[in-house]
Amino acid sequence: MNPVHKGHVAMLDCAAERLSKEGYLILGGFLSPSHDLYVGPKMESQKTLHFFASASHRVALCRKILEGHPRWQCATWEASVVGRWPDFPEVCAEAHKHFKVQVFYVCGSDHATRCGLMQGQLYPTGTVIVPRSGETAGVDFLEKKVFWAVFPGHAVATNGDGSESLPLKDVSSTKVREALASGDFQTAEAMVGPPAVVYARERGLWGSSNSSVDSGPSQSVRAHLAPLPSSSPPILVVSDLHGNLSLLLRALARGREIAGRKDLKVVLLGDFVDNGGEISELLDFLCLVKENFKGGEHEGMEMMSVIGNHDLACLLAYEPGVFGSSYEIAEPGYKNWWEKWHRFWNEGSSTPEVYGCETGGSVEEFRSKFPKRHVEFLKSLPWVLEVGRFVFVHAGMRAGTSDALEPQIVFLKKKDLSGLKASGFENYKGGGYGMPDQVCDKGLKDVDCPEWGRVVVSGHNKYKPGEDFVGKFRLGLHSCVCQRTEGKANAALHCALLRPDAECVSSETVTRFQVT
C-alpha cells in the first residue's frame, strides 16, 4: 500500500458485504500501512526507491483516503514498530489478542495464493479473499473461516464530467505513483481523492512537486558541470537532513537527473536526528544501505556520511562519556545534557518524542526505545571525510597561522573528545558543549582559506534565505530543513554536485540546487 487507494477501501466494503451474508455483524475495520523496513527493500529490489514514501506520510494519506468512510480506520501499530517490521500474521495475532471479537484478514487472490492462505493458515483469524473483477472466486473453507467475496465492477471517473473512467479493478498503487509523477493529478484524484493528492503535492511525494535549480542566467542545468570522464562520477552533497527521508530521496533522484548519470558519490553532511518527523525512518534507511548494500551503495550510488552536532549531542545525552568525553551530565554550566538536548536542541519534532517517549520523559525511557542499531550507526559516523581534494565536515574548518588544515583532519579522524583541550582545539564558545569547533561552531560558516589548498564543504549554518556561501576554497550549504511548520519542512534542502577533480569552487565545478 504505497499508497493506499480506493481499491483497498472497496475491498473492505466487499469483505463486509460477504461476511454480513454469513450472519456476522460488522463492528469496524482498518487499513494497516506497511512498515518502512518492508516497503523500502521491496522498492529497492524493484529499482523504484525514488518512489518511496515514509510510513508517516503513508499513514497520513491513508487517513485522508478514509475520510467519508466512518466504519473504516487507519491502523498505525504495524508501521510504527521501531527497528523491525511485523509481517501480516503478527499483525493479525496482535489484533486477535486485543479485540475480543472475530477478526478477519482481507486480501487479494494473488496474495492469498502466494502466502498459502486459502486453506485457513491464519486460523483462528479468518480470511476474506477478494479476487479482481472478472476473476473466478474460489471455494469457501468454512471450517477455517475462509470466505471469498465479489469485487465490484464499477469504475472511478478520471474526468470531472465522467466522460472517462478507470475500472476499479485497475486502480493500483503503481498507477497512483505514476499519475502523481507525471502531473496527471486528475487521474490521481480519481484513485485516492482530492485531499490525498493535495497532501502529496504539498510534500512532493512520488515526484509530484517541482524542484528548483540554481542554474544561472541563460544556462542549462548541465552546462554548469563541465563534461566528466565516464570513470569519474560527480559528488552529490546533501546538507543537514534533520529527519527528512522524503527530501533525501528527492535529492538523490534530482541529483542523478541533473548529472545525467546514476553512478554518483553521495556525501551527507550530518544532523540526521532532531526537528523532523521521519528520524526513525531516515536512520532505518541509512542503516539498511550500510548493512545490506555493499557497505554503502544505493542504486549504484556510493553513499557516505559525516556526523553533525545534533547527532553528537544525541549520543552524549544517550551515553555520557561517549568518545572519551569528560562533559558528562554533571559538567558545570551544563548540568543535565539530557534536559538541554531534549528541550533546546529540538525546535521541531523532538527525537525522543518521535520514538514514543513522553514529553519531558527520562533518559532511561529514551534508551529503552532508541534502537541499538541507530545508536551504533551514529557512533560509526566519521567526523571528517576526504574525497579527492574535497574535505567534508559538518560546520567548517578553522583558519589561521596555528590552524593548518591537516592537523585538524588528523584530530577529527581520531574521534576522541578526551584530549579536546590538550590538542589545542577549544570548546565551542557558545556553551561549552565539549564538541570540536569543526562540528558545531557557526562562526566557521564563511571561513575561506587559500592556504588550505583544498576545498572545504560543510552544512550546519544558516545564510541568507535561499543562499549558500561560495568561496574559492569553501562551499557552505544552507541548513534550513529544521525550520518546520505543522510537522513538515517549510524550506528547501540545499544540495550541490561537485566535479571530483576540482581544485577550487567555480561555476564550472559546482552546480547547486534545492528540493522541497
pLDDT of residue 458: 93
pLDDT score for 401: 58
Check residues 443 and 44 and name the one with the higher pLDDT.
443
Any idea which of 232-246, 266-280, 483-497 has the lowest mean pLDDT? 483-497
Residue 254 lies in a domain: yes
* pLDDT average, residue stretch 127-139: 82
Question: What CATH number is associated with residue 380?
Answer: 3.60.21.10
Q: Are residue 356 and residue 409 in the same domain, yes or no?
A: yes
Q: Would you tell me how many other CB atoms lie within 10 Å of the CB of residue 446?
A: 13
- Same-domain status, 202 and 237: no
pLDDT for 210? 42
**Contact call for residues 185 and 201 (beta carbons, < 8 A):** yes
Do residues 10 and 159 both lie within one domain? yes
In the block, residue with C-alpha cell 538523490: 252
Task: Give the model confidence (pLDDT) of 468-514 as tens digits.
Answer: 888 888 998 988 655 444 444 455 789 999 988 888 888 788 888 88
| Domain annotation covers residue 224 | no
pLDDT at 491: 57
Tally Cβ neighbours within 10 Å of residue 413.
Answer: 13
Q: Do residue 200 and residue 264 come from a single domain?
A: no
List Cβ neighbours of 480 (8 Å cut-off, separation of 6 or more): 462, 465, 491, 492, 493, 494
**What is the residue-averaged pLDDT of the chain?**
79
Same domain for 244 and 159 = no
* Domain match, 275 and 174 both: no
Same domain, 199 and 244: no
Residue 38 near residue 83 (C-beta atoms within 8 A): no
pLDDT digits (tens, 9 = 90+) for 403-429: 788 889 998 999 988 755 433 334 433
- Of residues 169, 152, 153, 160, the one with CA closest to residue 194: 160
Residue 466 DSSP label = T
Query: Is residue 1, in this structure, part of any structural domain at all?
Result: no
Distance in angstroms (rounded) separating the CA atoms of residues 170 and 177? 14
Same domain? For 160 and 246 the reply is: no
Give the model's confidence band at 379: pLDDT under 50 very low, under 70 low, under 90 confident, else very high: very high
| Residue 106: per-residue pLDDT | 94
Q: Please count the structural domains in the chain.
A: 2
Average pLDDT over residues 359-368: 80
Q: Is residue 221 part of a domain?
A: no
Residue 391: strand pairing partners: 386, 456
Alpha helix stretches (DSSP H) within 325-404? 337-344, 351-354, 363-369, 372-380
| 321 and 415 housed in the same domain | yes
Neighbours of 16 (CB within 10 A): 20
Q: What is the largest CA-CA distance in the chain?
A: 85
Q: Is residue 25 part of a domain?
A: yes
Q: Which of 96, 128, 95, 90 is nearest to 109 (CA)?
A: 128
Domain assignment present for residue 227? The answer is no
The DSSP element (H or E) to which 440 belongs, if any, is helix 437-440
3-state helix, strand, coil in the chain (%, to 5): 35, 15, 50
288 SS3 class? helix
pLDDT band at 435 (very low <50, low <70, confident <90, very high): confident
Q: For 3-12, 101-110, 168-177, which range has the lowest pLDDT when averaged over its residues?
A: 168-177
Does 367 fall in a domain?
A: yes
Separation CA 146–CA 109 (nearest Å): 12
Q: Residue 208 has what pLDDT? A: 65
Helix axes 185-192 and 173-182, enclosed angle (nearest 10) = 150
What's the start-to-end Cα distance of the chain, in Å?
Answer: 24
Asked if residues 510 and 496 have their Cβ atoms less than 8 Å apart, the reply is yes
Residue 149: domain span: 6-207
| Dihedral angle sign, alpha carbons of residues 79, 83, 85, 86 | negative
Q: Per the domain annotation, does 356 fall within a domain?
A: yes
Give the burial string for 272-298 (b: 16+ CB within 10 Å, else e). Answer: bbbbbbbbbbbbbbbbbbbeebeeeeb
| Integer Cα distance of 277 and 262 in angstroms | 28
* Cis amide leading into 233 (omega within 30): no
194: domain CATH number is 3.40.50.620
pTM of the model: 0.63
DSSP type of residue 216: -
Q: What is the mean pLDDT of residues 314-332?
A: 71
